[in-house]
Amino acid sequence: MKNLKLFLFAIGAYLFLSSCCTTKVVYCTDNRPVTYPKNQKCALKAYKESVAGFEVNLESTIQDIIEIGSLTVGSEPKLLREKLNNESARHQDALKASFIALSTDPCMNSERHYKLVESINKRNYDLQELRAKLENNGLETVKNYLYERGKIEGKAMKEIIDSLKNYYGINTKYPETLDELNVNNAILTLGESRLDYKMTNEKTFVLKFAGEDYALGTEDDKIYKGTNDLIQ
């Protein structure tokens, strides 16, 4: 009976310890140490912990924008609210997938993961700055933010188009997918769900970008077409 109790205690202790989420360290082929969650369950827990403060900050910022919208007749506050929600959802989805990928293959995914973590931290700081500006100059801040975001998105799209041109110049054909280009940050900025790229043949492509409505297949889409080395 005593041995049975000891055995059950040992099993219980093992289950308790194995349920605790810890990290592991692996040394990659270039002697680079990478810390990563020990499994996917721990990866999801680490993700939730990493975005907890960001979600609170986002919710507070959205509430401030709603209050500004209730005092104005313009569409800018609603547009900014939708933009922030969509952008934040994209960043969080990408970060969640990155935590899972890190737990599966830490050496392969660590660099991209750390860049995403840095990106979400910067976004959290940007939200804090935005809230401070909203308190002092509500509607004008909303308009300025939308204007600046428009410039950032324009720059990201230009990066993708330039990369397509360079790819064609080197290979005399267009890539089958945007994944073949080194434009991950630009895609993250714009949102993968807002982009629809199709290579119709090696010499032509069509790239659609969802506009302010964030929905592909509407009149708000911006369409780029490539034929040989000409992109319009």
**What pLDDT is stored for residue 3 in this prediction?**
42
Q: Which of 69-73, 78-82, 177-181 has the lowest mean pLDDT?
A: 69-73
The percentage of the chain sitting over the pLDDT mark of 70, rounded to a whole number, equals 90
pLDDT per residue over 13-35, tens digit each? 333 334 578 889 999 998 889 99
**What pLDDT is stored for residue 71 in this prediction?**
67
- The residue that leads in pLDDT, 53 or 215, is 53
What is this structure's pTM? 0.63
pLDDT per residue over 141-190, tens digit each? 888 888 888 898 999 999 999 999 999 999 999 999 998 998 988 888 88
pLDDT per residue over 104-132, tens digit each? 999 998 888 888 888 788 878 888 888 88
**What pLDDT is stored for residue 5 in this prediction?**
38
CA torsion 148-216-183-121 (nearest 10°) is 50
| Angle (nearest 5°) at CA 167 between 165 and 171 | 120
